[in-house]
Structure 1
């Protein structure tokens, strides 16, 4: 299917106005293609380490605090289960003294606390 001249101009205008986003999309596409089609087992191991390092650098202070709480509370479980299995279906609240409370999904602690985050399948999501 041929692209009309007006569509070509619109595409060029968008690309010119969105260079940074276009470059991001191109790099993301290249990374995905490399992983799917060319990466060796060794490459994948290295990429997993790099992803973990990057994810840790991007974590907010709240996420770091919650991750530490999960690791402390579930230290024994983490010896036998994956992080994704342990850090799942959890809700996090902050009390008036600034402490983080952790509950199973759907269990609300006492009044006067603020819902701040939840964990699903090993990912911590701030509210």
Structure 2
């Protein structure tokens, strides 16, 4: 059945408004199709490892959401005299520095030397600023730091 002009406009409007949602659904469907129809035993073994790593990162992110709310309480920040930012991925930290940091700094070079070697591409980065100094920790290490701060 052919779409009317109004239906086409509505579909275009929905597609524009939900680009990320549609992209994720497309990736999910492609992954399912590949696994069901084409995956070899080697592919499945690789996927099993990827799934374990993703589950570890998702668990860490859920925990960090709770920690974020605790860390951002004014009384905690005032007591510790620090600020804390949690970056979902290292590339998010780089994007922020390139957009908002000192324009005279080569942020890609800084990132390649200081951040990229210490974090996996999907691992959250916790940035703590204390007395003007920036310290970067992976999500699990950030818990250790919070323990000795509190």
Q: TM-score, normalised by structure 1?
A: 0.44
Greater per-residue strand proportion: 1
Q: TM-score, normalised by structure 2?
A: 0.38
Say which structure, 1 or 2, has more relative contact order (CA 8 Å, 6+ apart).
2
Name whichever structure is richer in helix by fraction.
2
